[in-house]
């Protein structure tokens, strides 16, 4: 069995940039996440920095209906739970088309 790629712990490789699939503009997603970047960074109670790979689904109305942690280098449950709660509270513009958008977002906590 091959070892896990560098930058993963029990999951998918940490991406260099977000992947957004569905009827919402990349800029719209980036603007919402960037606007909440301080709140996301404030979640870090882990002893050091780390990277997370988040995946979340946005419904047609712009609400996050599902958020999961796909991979992490933190291994710190409190920080990871806080980040997921913040992501679940995000609100996006309504989708331009379709019923759902899937976002895979790399996040580095410093």
Q: What is the per-residue pLDDT across 63-92, written as a single tens digit (0 to 9) for each?
A: 999 999 999 999 899 999 999 999 999 999
For domain 19-109, give the CATH number.
3.30.1150
Task: Spell out the domain ranges in the chain.
Answer: 19-109
CA distance linking residue 85 with residue 21, whole number of Å: 22
Q: The dihedral of CA 15, 18, 65, 87: what is its sign?
A: positive
pTM of the model: 0.87
- Tell which wins on pLDDT, 49 or 7: 49
């Amino acid at each position: 069995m091959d070892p896990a790629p560098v930058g993963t712990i029990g999951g998918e490789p940490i991406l260099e940039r977000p992947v957004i699939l569905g009827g919402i503009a990349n800029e719209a997603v980036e603007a919402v996440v960037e606007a909440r970047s301080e709140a996301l960074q404030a979640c870090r109670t882990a002893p050091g920095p780390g990277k997370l790979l988040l995946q979340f689904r946005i419904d047609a109305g712009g609400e996050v209906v599902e958020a999961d942690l796909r991979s992490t280098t933190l291994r710190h449950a409190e920080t990871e739970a806080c980040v997921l709660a913040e992501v679940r509270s995000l609100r996006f513009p309504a989708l331009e088309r379709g019923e759902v958008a899937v976002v895979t977002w790399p996040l580095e906590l410093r």
